[in-house]
Each structure stands twice: as C-alpha cells, then as structure tokens.
C-alpha cells in the first residue's frame, strides 16, 4: 500500500475503517442515551439509525463543500436542480436527525457546544494547511499554515475532526433528567 501512495489507508467494505468505527459509535451512543430514558426499542432503533445517517451526510456535506469547485453551485448559472442535487441531497439527509427532535437537547448543552468548537478548530486547521489529502499527497486549497510534512497531520486532523463531530452528534441526546 505504501508503494502505491496510499498512506495510512485501510478500507472496510469500501469505507475508511475509522469512518465505520466513528459512525458506529454514533449509533451506539444514541441508542444507549435513549435506552437510559426507557424509550421503546423500535423508536431507539429508528432514531439511532436516522441520527447515524444524518451524521454521515453532514460530514460529507462539510467535506465536499470544503473544495473550491463546489462553491460554483452558489453562482449563476450553476444553481439549478440538476447541478445542485449534491447540495440538496446532502443537506436533506443531514436533517434526518430531526426524527429524534423530542429527545434532542441544545439549550445549556455545553458538552455539545464544546465538542463543536473543537471540531471547528481541527477542521479549520486542516483547511489552513491547504486541505492536504493524505491518500494521494495533494493539496486542494492554498496553504496558510506550513509544516514540513503536513500529511501525517492531515491524517490526524481528518480522523479527530470526524470523531469530535460524531461525539457532538451523540451529545445532542444528553439531557439532565
């Protein structure tokens, strides 16, 4: 794998292994939080599944719209349904978390806001490094922060930003009873 240029990469059913683990944590975390409140099993499963799908597509939305080319969707004449379908689909699927709206707590949820702040800081650092892609060792944006070899840092920033976003998604279901 290293000879082909795929650094730190191992796939699991076509997805990055860390993505599979992190999004499984979303499902399990939401299921545990709801089970602690004695929610019905079918509701636990459906809300946990919808929240997991929502987390996946929210990260995809953030990731894909970090590339400069995707900003063309917001300029004339590109904003048409056929061209903006990625934006609309990702945005709509990331709203699936609203299936569990009655269990979500945002007000005074300092854990949520702290985790989102950490996510934004990590993701912004990754963008300022030039959005380096460790799989093909390329830069997708102009660099404002310089490291001698930013690709190991890109690996860590990618993984930890995704982890903190997933934990933040679970923390939506934290509630002081």
pLDDT single digits (tens) 127-162: 888 888 777 888 877 888 888 888 888 888 988 999
Greater confidence (4 vs 155) lies with 155
**Percent of the chain, pLDDT > 70?**
77
Structure-block tokens of residue 106: 């945002």
Whether residue 147 contacts residue 130, with contact meaning beta carbons closer than 8 Å, is answered with no
pLDDT at 144: 86
Cis peptide upstream of residue 107 (ω within 30 degrees of 0): no
pLDDT at 64: 75
Q: Highest-confidence range of 31-45, 145-159, 163-177, by mean pLDDT?
A: 31-45
User: Looking at per-residue confidence, does 37 or 2 come out higher?
Assistant: 37
Q: Which helix (H) or strand (E) holds 139?
A: strand 138-139
pLDDT score of 142: 81
**Residue with tokens 């933040």, as numbered in its chain:** 168
Q: Which residues pair with 132 in a beta bridge?
A: 139
- Beta-bridge mates of residue 138: 133
- What is the spatial distance between Cα 170 and Cα 172, in angstroms, rounded to a whole number? 5
> Does residue 30 or residue 80 have the better pLDDT?
30
Which comes out higher in pLDDT, residue 73 or 96? 96
Q: pTM for this one?
A: 0.78
């Amino acid at each position: 794998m290293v000879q082909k240029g795929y650094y730190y990469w191992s796939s699991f059913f076509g997805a990055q292994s860390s993505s599979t683990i992190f999004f499984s944590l979303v499902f399990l975390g939401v299921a545990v939080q709801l089970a602690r409140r004695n929610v019905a099993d079918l509701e636990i499963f459906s809300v946990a599944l919808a929240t997991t799908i929502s987390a996946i597509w929210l990260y995809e939305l953030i990731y894909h719209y970090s590339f400069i080319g995707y900003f063309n969707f917001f300029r004339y004449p590109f904003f048409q349904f056929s061209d903006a379908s990625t934006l609309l689909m990702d945005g709509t699927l990331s709203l699936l978390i609203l299936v569990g709206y009655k269990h979500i707590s945002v007000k005074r949820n300092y854990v949520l806001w702290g985790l989102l702040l950490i996510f934004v800081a990590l993701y912004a650092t990754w963008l300022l490094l030039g959005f380096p892609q460790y799989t093909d060792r390329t830069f997708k944006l102009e660099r404002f922060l310089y490291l001698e070899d930013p690709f190991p840092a890109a690996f860590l920033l990618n993984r930890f930003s995704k982890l903190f976003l997933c934990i933040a998604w679970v923390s939506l279901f934290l509630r002081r009873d």
